[in-house]
């Protein structure tokens, strides 16, 4: 007779459903979704849009959406998950053990308290000690988490950083069982080369060029802006790249001078304009380096603006914009904004401070008084953006790149790294990404840089992008490394422990 396992989790997730499907093949499994059916059409705050996964997340196992009576339903606060009948529903199933994903919601904590000592309780979470702070709050947190975890018999840890977290908050070594954080390795490793090449071609990226990828939510904690700044700095010395469309100089000795202060306060040299347009992002025909942002989120507009308004200069002068120019500036901003998918008002706020305020990025031009019109032509051609891509398309996106970068300020694990590695790619991540100590070996399959250190990130980007053969070899090492971090091994760990009951 097979063992019965009840799983309590908030909502269907693409990284968990395949585990449930595999478990259901050999045990009697039922999953209780506590958010309720409304979770299937939830608005994702990170992506700033409604997300519906294109993978089947509700087949191959028994499940039930519980009634959630919370006024403000969701996982964003403790009282967002309130299930009056959770205890009754789970008890009626008569499980041999209960596996609970996450504790930070009212109903989940009630389940811990009610079933303690009655049924073995397993726990799954991926928290780490990164960014832990000292002080009174830390003391209170320490006492509270030790109380919560005292109700758990065993925890399935996802990696070493997560194991260290569990040990700090009261778990003994004998209570900790390794069940690797995993994604569908086979699906991401499936050969999608033809589609990946088509994607590169559509973006204007040659086979010999190098493509750096950021894929995820455009939010502060993911820190995509650091990557953009490092990329700009890495390529700012490159040659002139795009011809002027309608205002280029007639002689070679005419020059455009741009004045701007970069992130590291270094001044970019004046560039002589020879029938082409200036861009600090470099000449992709010479450097062959591109950056692709895939996703959506709160920083989307600012990232697009920063990449499109990237301009170089030879000084740090300040100058007021005459208020008489306001209408012209706003009109030009609106025209440019239409091509970027952002608002003209935001464009003005980002780069054209008017109404008596100074330019944050001031441009002067010797021969052309109508200098503002040039901004509409200064669109970079080696920074690309794609909207959120669903799971079935993501293997194509990863396989199209040469290097995946995750510069997060805080990341409990970073399953996107698993996906990139399963796609056979080199990876570059910050030291605040939880999977780093398990999955990334410096110099072998990628590098780990110091979080928030633009110089360190830029240096490692230069090292990795200098040699495509190096990136290919790192990609092969990634593919070999990620093989054991699989759904099968995660399921085996859970079943092995359940069989001991």
3-state secondary structure string across 181-201: CCCCHHHHHCCCHHHHHHHHH
Q: Residue written as tokens 């109380």?
A: 147
Q: Residue written as tokens 């780490």?
A: 128
- The structure tokens listed for 285 are 């025909």
Least confident segment among 56-65, 86-95, 313-322 = 313-322
Type and span of the H or E element at 30: strand 28-33
At 341 the pLDDT is 53
At 135 the pLDDT is 84
At 307 the pLDDT is 84
Q: Please, what are the domains in the chain?
A: 4-182+486-498 (3.40.50.2000), 186-190+388-482 (3.40.50.2000), 217-383 (no CATH)
Please give the share of the chain, as a percent, with pLDDT higher than 70: 74
Least confident segment among 125-134, 303-312, 400-409 = 303-312
At 249 the pLDDT is 43
d(C-alpha 150, C-alpha 358), whole Å: 59
The contacts of residue 382 (CB under 8 Å, 6+ apart) are: 235, 281, 282, 284, 289, 290, 291
Residue 159 has pLDDT above 90, yes or no: yes
At 197 the pLDDT is 98
Q: C-alpha distances in angstroms, 228 versus 169, 293, 378?
A: 37, 9, 16
At 306 the pLDDT is 85
The phi and psi torsions of 444 (rounded to 5 degrees) equal: -105, -60
d(C-alpha 489, C-alpha 35), whole Å: 28
- The structure tokens listed for 460 are 């490692």
Give just the sign of the alpha carbon dihedral 296, 302, 303, 309. positive
Q: Which of 392, 421, 327 minimizes the C-alpha distance to 57?
A: 392
pTM equals 0.79
Instruction: Taking residues 442-446, report their average pLDDT.
Output: 98
- Residue 452, classed as helix, strand or coil, is coil
Q: Which long-range contacts (CB under 8 A, 24 or more apart) does 268-273 make?
A: 268/236, 268/312, 268/313, 268/314, 269/312, 269/314, 270/313, 270/314, 271/240, 271/312, 273/240, 273/244, 273/248, 273/249
Residue 372 has pLDDT above 70, yes or no: no
Instruction: Taking residues 163-176, report their average pLDDT.
Output: 98
Residue 242 has pLDDT above 80, yes or no: no
Type and span of the H or E element at 211: strand 210-215
Residue 273 has pLDDT above 60, yes or no: no
- What's the CA dihedral at 322, 328, 332, 337 to 10 degrees? 80
The contacts of residue 434 (CB under 8 Å, 6+ apart) are: 126, 128, 130, 158, 159, 161, 162, 411, 412, 413, 414
Give just the sign of the alpha carbon dihedral 341, 343, 349, 352. positive
Residue 171 has pLDDT above 90, yes or no: yes
Q: What are the residues facing 9 on neighbouring strands?
A: 33
The contacts of residue 116 (CB under 8 Å, 6+ apart) are: 151
At 287 the pLDDT is 52
Q: Which of 132, 127, 114 minimizes the C-alpha distance to 155?
A: 127
At 236 the pLDDT is 63
At 369 the pLDDT is 38
Residue 419 has pLDDT above 70, yes or no: yes
Least confident segment among 130-139, 210-219, 434-443, 473-482 = 130-139
Are residues 213 and 294 in contact, defined by beta-carbon separation less than 8 angstroms? yes
Residue 375 has pLDDT above 70, yes or no: no
Confidence class for position 248, pLDDT limits 50, 70, 90: very low
284-335 residue pLDDT tens: 334 589 999 999 999 999 999 888 765 433 322 223 334 444 455 455 555 5
Identify which has the larger pLDDT, 419 or 369: 419
d(C-alpha 188, C-alpha 399), whole Å: 8
- Mean pLDDT, the chain, integer: 81
Q: Which of 352, 350, 365 minimizes the C-alpha distance to 320?
A: 352
31-52 residue pLDDT tens: 999 999 999 876 776 676 777 8
Least confident segment among 147-151, 268-272, 297-301, 379-383 = 268-272
At 334 the pLDDT is 55
At 362 the pLDDT is 36
Instruction: Taking residues 66-87, report their average pLDDT.
Output: 97
At 335 the pLDDT is 57
Q: What angle do CA 179, 180, 182 make, to 5 degrees?
A: 130
Identify which has the larger pLDDT, 358 or 335: 335
Instruction: Taking residues 466-490, report their average pLDDT.
Output: 97
On the CB side of 256, CA atoms within 13 Å amount to: 26
Type and span of the H or E element at 446: strand 446-449
């Amino acid at each position: 007779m097979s063992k019965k396992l009840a799983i309590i989790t908030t909502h269907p997730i693409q990284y968990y459903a395949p585990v449930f499907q595999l478990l259901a093949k050999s045990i009697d499994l039922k999953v209780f979704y506590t958010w309720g059916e409304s979770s299937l059409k939830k608005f994702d705050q990170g992506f700033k849009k409604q997300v519906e996964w294109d993978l089947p997340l509700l087949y191959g196992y028994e499940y039930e959406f519980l009634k959630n009576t919370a006024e403000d339903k969701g996982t964003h606060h403790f009282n967002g998950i309130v299930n009056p009948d959770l205890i009754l529903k789970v008890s009626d199933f008569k499980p041999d053990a209960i596996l609970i994903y996450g504790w930070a919601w009212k109903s989940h904590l009630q389940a811990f308290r009610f079933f303690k000592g009655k049924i073995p309780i397993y726990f799954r979470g991926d928290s780490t000690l990164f960014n832990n702070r000292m002080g009174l709050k830390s003391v209170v947190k320490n006492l509270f988490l030790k109380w919560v975890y005292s109700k758990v018999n065993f925890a399935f840890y996802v990696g070493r950083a997560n194991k260290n977290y569990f040990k700090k908050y009261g778990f003994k070594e004998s209570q900790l069982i390794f069940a690797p954080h995993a994604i569908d390795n086979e699906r991401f490793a499936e050969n999608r080369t033809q589609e990946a090449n088509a994607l590169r071609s559509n973006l204007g990226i040659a086979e010999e060029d190098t493509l750096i990828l950021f894929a995820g939510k455009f939010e502060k904690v993911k820190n995509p802006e650091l990557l953009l700044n490092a990329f700009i700095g890495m390529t700012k010395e490159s040659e002139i790249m795009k011809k002027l469309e309608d205002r280029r100089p007639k002689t070679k000795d005419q020059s455009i001078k741009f004045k701007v202060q970069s992130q590291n306060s270094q001044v970019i040299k004046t560039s002589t304009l020879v029938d082409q347009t200036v861009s600090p992002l470099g000449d992709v025909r010479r450097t062959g380096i591109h950056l692709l942002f895939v996703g959506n989120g709160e920083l989307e507009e600012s990232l697009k603006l920063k990449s499109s308004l990237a301009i170089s200069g030879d000084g740090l002068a300040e100058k007021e914009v005459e208020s008489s120019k306001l209408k012209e500036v706003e009109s030009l901003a609106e025209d440019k904004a239409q091509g970027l998918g952002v608002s003209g008002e935001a464009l003005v706020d980002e780069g054209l401070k008017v109404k008596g305020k100074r330019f944050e990025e001031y441009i002067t031009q010797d021969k052309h008084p109508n200098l503002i019109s040039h901004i509409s032509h200064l669109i970079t051609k080696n920074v690309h953006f794609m909207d959120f891509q669903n799971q079935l398309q993501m293997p194509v996106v990863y396989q199209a790149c040469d290097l995946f970068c995750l510069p997060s300020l805080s990341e409990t694990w970073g399953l996107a790294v698993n996906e990139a590695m399963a796609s056979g790619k080199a990876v570059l991540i910050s030291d605040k990404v939880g999977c780093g100590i398990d999955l990334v070996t410096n110099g072998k399959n990628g590098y780990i840089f110091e979080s928030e250190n633009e110089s360190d990130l830029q240096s490692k980007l230069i090292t990795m992008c200098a040699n495509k053969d190096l990136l290919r070899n790192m990609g092969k090492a990634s593919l070999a490394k990620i093989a054991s971090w699989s759904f099968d091994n995660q399921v085996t760990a859970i079943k092995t422990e359940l069989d001991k009951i």
